Amino acid sequence: MEKREIAVNIPQDLDPVYSNRIQVAFKDDEFTFVFMHEIPGTNQARAKSIVSISPKHAKNFSEVLANTVKGYEDKFGEIAAPKGGSDKREFDDKNVTIKGYS
């Protein structure tokens, strides 16, 4: 497959976003990602960005992310998944209900 180059125009006033929590929802025609910043030591988070993409784009994103994580781990070593303890809550989204967006 031939690689193509795309010129991306990034506005000067576009601020970077830091997120330490994400919620992903889907329906038949889109995936929606809510990127949040959870305030440490509280049960509060602030939504920083909401991004919706098509299912095909989500599949491609999944593959690109997996390849990027593999490249990172090849260079810096394996990313350790939490085994419990105080920071397990950060990744334990099965037990989290996010109010204000569904």
pLDDT in tens, 18-46: 999 999 999 999 999 999 999 989 989 99
90 located within any domain: yes
57 located within any domain: yes
Determine the distance from the C-alpha atom of residue 24 to the mean position of all C-alpha atoms in its chain, rounded to a whole number: 8
What pLDDT score was predicted for residue 92? 54
The structure tokens listed for 41 are 């030591």
**Structural domain of 27:** 21-95
65 located within any domain: yes
What pLDDT score was predicted for residue 53? 98
- Identity of the residue numbered 3: K
Residues of the chain with pLDDT under 70: 83-102
For residues 28 and 48, give the distance between their C-alpha atoms in angstroms, rounded to a whole number. 25
1 located within any domain: no
Number of structural domains, the chain? Answer: 1
Indicate yes or no: pTM above 0.85: no
What pLDDT score was predicted for residue 81? 82
For the chain, how many residues are written?
A: 102
6 located within any domain: no
Report which DSSP code applies to 85.
S
3 located within any domain: no
What pLDDT score was predicted for residue 2? 82
100 located within any domain: no
What pLDDT score was predicted for residue 3? 85
